[in-house]
Chains A and B, each alone.
Chain A
Amino acid sequence: MRSHLLLLALFAFVVSLVFAVIAKDDAREQLRFGGMMFAGFLAAAIVLGWLMYPFPL
């Protein structure tokens, strides 16, 4: 598996899952919290990726 986006999504999924299960007790709240966190991870990565695009490394 070499796709960075796929690895990022997998990483975000597992981290969101564990945090949601730790932070919330109710299944609905876990789903909501985990979903928000997962979406936040993906959105932040994509936005930051585009913001860094003009800068040479």
Chain B
Amino acid sequence: MRATDATEETRSGTIVLLCLASWAIPGAGHLWLGRRAKGLIFLVALPVMFAIGLAIRGRLFPFDFSDPLVGLEALADLGIGVPYIIASALGYGAGDVRAVTYEYGNAFLIVAGLLNLLVVIDAYDVMLGRK
């Protein structure tokens, strides 16, 4: 009984770690699970999408929930993981509302984060043997 509990706890811990790794580094969860091709595609495609969003003057939104849409956009931006933290630390993502590509940039940044959250869910499903 105790051995089963310990095994279950270890498995839960591994799942949490896998999800955290998959969120922090896009594709890391799939690489961990041995799905190299998928992991590498996510590892390249999602950060590139995020970088394009920054390059065309998109904005990393502040966590201001007095305006719910801004707060939700900030959460979506954060979905990309470490690239968000690096970009914020380096001062990127101020955004330029006068740029013609501003809205496109926001779409790239937000969707990159949301896609990475889908990738996390996919890694979770693979770990549980559902896929």
Number of B interface residues at 8 Å Cβ cutoff, please give it. Answer: 21
Q: Are B45 and A7 in contact (CB under 8 A)?
A: no
Tell whether B118 is near chain A: CB-to-CB under 8 Å.
Answer: yes
B45 and A18 within 8 A (CB): yes
Q: Does A28 contact B (CB under 8 A)?
A: no
B48 touches A7 (CB 8 A): no
Contact A18 B46 (CB under 8 A): yes
With known contacts A11-B111, A21-B41, A22-B119, A1–B46 Cβ distance under 8 A: no
Pair A17/B45 contact, Cβ less than 8 Å: yes
Distance to closest chain B CB from A31 (angstroms)? 13
Q: Which residues of A contact B (CB under 8 A)?
A: 1-2, 4, 7, 10-11, 14-15, 17-18, 21-22, 25
Task: Tell which of B10-18, B63-71, B101-109 binds the partner.
Answer: B101-109
- Roughly how many angstroms separate A4 CA and B105 CA in the complex, as a whole number? 11
Report the minimal beta-carbon distance from B82 to chain A, rounded to whole angstroms. 18
